[in-house]
Structure 1
């Protein structure tokens, strides 16, 4: 349960090796927010195409899906911990855990955490291969898209994520980070310091968590 299956891992790491030569995606939150709030039908159609694994989606489409989700009413920032899923997994009630993860995915279709575990559990439980491959494709597409939002070397070029849990997916699955030494909040960024990384040239990574911080601030201001 802690690692991706060998075949998927090899394929994914081959994909990750090509990412660093690609151009960084420009993620403009105001523009994305305007699109989501003024064109909700079009955004929902784009989300449905993502969920259906439409092969014609572009990298910018994936970026709009992922970051745009944070401007929908379903978004909960970093507050959704999927505790029932993890409790079921810990109790080795894997069928129930799989169903719980699928239910959560209905309201949070861009959760890297859920997609990762659905692929893992689906493979272990020998679920329909098309279904599990679908989760793997969505996971890999989002992960590589997020990695293109910045190089992670400074606050100004931090990798943009919409929840803290996604930082760990980037660190441990994409960059293959070794032991995490410390974590610090610097303005709108999480600064992660670690011993080593197989796919990142350094021992520090900056993640822009401004969307999650803004959501939390707005939530408390409503009270």
Structure 2
């Protein structure tokens, strides 16, 4: 899958490079909840999700922050979500070489998954790659645009250096998508407060590990238990 992550960098619509130091601000979930429920707000959730579905490439970073972090207040949010097409898609992931005849089926399955959960970063990334292989670079760019902006929303939420400034994520899988994107390999995972801490091999990288804030995942899990 690494080649897909490297490939998608070709379609950056002038979005900040991931290697740069970005300004970050932890999500204000109370404010987000208020805005996405206000029909008069530019961040009213049905409007945002409709713009995403219609491939609106004029959405701002704030739009994507409200879209991504606002999803935790949607009834469908499930911190343990799995793609309904996971088994079928895995067959294609495991192929040494894809056939031209595979492209349309992968596109159908990936889009079906994204209809169920529009923040499946793994599928967005893979879908952009398949569109490119098929020769539909316009669709590849639009799909990559969504991937980049969702990733930037996550990156704008922290710096990962400590739990208090951990990156906020909706799913554990998003943690590993980020690591793969930066070609980082974790050696261990532990729960530190409201954070997942992914540790690296000592001395291999500039940092020993990275923190991801999973407070909303933990809250969602607690609701499920009740």
TM-score by length of 1: 0.83
Partner of 1:207: 212
SS at match of 1:109: coil
Give 1:213 shift.
Answer: 1.6
CA contact (8 A) 1:88 1:96 kept: no
SS at match of 2:183: coil
CA contact (8 A) 1:46 1:61 kept: yes
Matched, 1:184 2:190: yes
Partner of 2:127: 118
Listed as ranges, the gaps of 5+ residues in structure 1 are: none
Partner of 1:128: 136
Listed as ranges, the gaps of 5+ residues in structure 2 are: none
* Greater relative CO, 1 or 2 (CA 8 Å, sep 6+): 2
> Could you tell me how far apart the structure 1 residues matched to 2:47 and 2:223 are?
27
Partner of 1:166: 174
Superposed CA deviations along residues 75-129 of structure 1, whole A, max 9, x for unmatched, are 22133244234344246655433311111111211221221121122223x0532
Partner of 1:100: 109
Alignment partner of 1:65 out of 58, 64, 67: 67
Partner of 2:34: 34
Change (3 A) 1:54 1:218: same
**C-alpha RMSD of the superposition:** 2.6
CA contact (8 A) 2:11 2:145 kept: no
SS at match of 1:185: strand
> Could you tell me how far apart the structure 2 residues matched to 1:76 and 1:127 are?
35
Task: Provide the aligned length of Structure 1 versus Structure 2.
Answer: 213
Partner of 1:109: 118
Matched, 1:193 2:199: yes
CA contact (8 A) 1:84 1:100 kept: no
Superposed CA deviations along residues 174-223 of structure 1, whole A, max 9, x for unmatched, are x321x3211111221110011344xxx412100011111211110120xx
Give 1:63 shift.
Answer: 0.5
SS at match of 1:56: coil
Change (3 A) 1:29 1:5: closer
TM-score by length of 2: 0.82
Change (3 A) 1:14 1:157: closer
